[in-house]
Structure 1
Amino acid sequence: MRQRGKRTPRPLDANGLWELALKALAARACSTGELRQKLRARATNLEDVDATLARLKEYRYLDDRRFAENYAAARLENQRLGKNRVTQELRRRRVAPSLAEAAVEKTYGQTDEVALIEEFIRRKYRGTTPGDLFQDDKQLASAYRRLMRLGFNSGNAIRALKRFAAHPELLDQFEPPPETSEE
């Protein structure tokens, strides 16, 4: 009796890998690392994967720098995420760490992170007056953790939360890591 379920995809030659890569890039932008992983899973010859990636780069269909910059700009514009989260997501998408950090720095260079945090707090708690927000340490801790998950710097998160907290002195217990200054 024949089993139903997932079929194993047939291995592809160089032309098949080229078509698969074009279809993948047409569906959504990919980093070189993501596309390499997809192609390796289907390749009959691993050398064809490198040749296909080189050809894509030659035609400028694949560019990790452009991908990282566009990804970071989209996350800032649409989701209003912090730098740390975007850098982490780019690394998860197999972008080189130095390239990810450079793209995020370029995108977030003129952005005031405290203003982003304040905008998030106003949007998230829009029915509440600022003095009524975060009445106790549990609410403050919850808001702080949420801001950390969104990728914001802890010092900036504390500064912004102090402006909205009913009792800002409760935030003194949250010790932000020391800021590194380059001199």
Structure 2
Amino acid sequence: MPDLEHEEGSKITSITVQKNNTKRYNIYVNGEYAFAVHEDILVKYQLLKGKELNPEEMREILAAEELNRAEQYALRYLSHRPRTAKEMFEYIIAKGFQTAQSDTTVKKLIDKGYINDEAFAEQWIEERMRLRPRGRYLLFQELTSRGIDEGIVEQKLSQILNQEDEIAMIEQLIQKKFRGHTFESEWEMKKKIIPFLQRKGFSLNHSLSAISKIKKEYGL
């Protein structure tokens, strides 16, 4: 690779498409391979055969290419499922990018609407309620551990998961988990069921309310 930082009169002499990735291009300067860029960078900086590049322009292009690489990694990561800002930042760092590059990439994705912690929290709570019921305490821990602000989590929990919904979820969990069980007393029922519910993040008060409502189904 030529020393582009110190070489004056650096001229692009050839541009070729990479065989394994048609969105990336190899750039040759003064007859030698110099660097590769994504097509977005090729277009943005109008990299054409015969274009002269000075060291300052080269630094800008290479910096932009690094940010573009980080964004491409991020978009692939997002293709599997939504991510929080914290999850994305940590992922990009793990890929070897600098803190500033990771921070810039996350902010760009937020501005584009690809990352939205409020929407993530809302979707997470709704899916848990529908598919894998969890109590308020566990939902709070799950979301804050992913970097979502506590205030956002509290707000979404208050909007989506009211007391009646939580008690109804508890009733359904009990009926599913303990279908066919018999209990000699209400005390025995509480002794077996409450620890199960607490592991799923449900409060004692709500658990007791649900048990009180369905205990007749168990002959108590």
* 1:24 counterpart residue number: 77
Distance in 1 of aligned mates of 2:138 and 2:188:
23
Deviation at 1:25, TM superposition (A): 0.6
Q: 1:144 aligns with which of 194, 199, 218?
A: 194
Query: Residues 3-152 of structure 1 correspond to what in structure 2 (within 5 A)?
Result: 13-109=66-162, 111-128=164-181, 132-133=182-183, 135=185, 137=187, 140-152=190-202
Name 2:206's counterpart in structure 1. 156
Measured in 2, the distance between the counterparts of 1:110 and 1:158 equals: 13
Verify the 8 A CA contact 1:29 1:67 in the aligned structure 2.
Answer: yes
The size of the alignment, in residue pairs, is: 154
Instruction: Structure 1: state its 5+ residue gaps.
Output: 1-11, 169-183
- More moved, 100-109 vs 69-78: 100-109
- C-alpha displacement of 1:138: 5.6
RMSD of equivalent CA atoms: 2.4
Return the index of the structure with the highest Cα Rg: 2
> Residue 27 of structure 1: SS of its match in structure 2?
coil
Number of the residue aligned with 2:45: none
Taking structure 1 as the reference length, the TM-score comes to 0.74
Q: TM-score normalized by structure 2?
A: 0.63
Structure with bigger strand share is: 2
Partner of 1:178: none
Q: Spell out, residue by residue over 1:153-182, the C-alpha distance to the aligned partner (whole angstroms, 9 max, x if none).
A: 2111112223428797xxxxxxxxxxxxxx
Report the residue type matching 2:161 in the other structure: Y
CA distance in structure 1 between the aligned counterparts of 2:164 and 2:93, rounded to whole angstroms: 39
Q: Cα offset for 1:43? A: 3.6
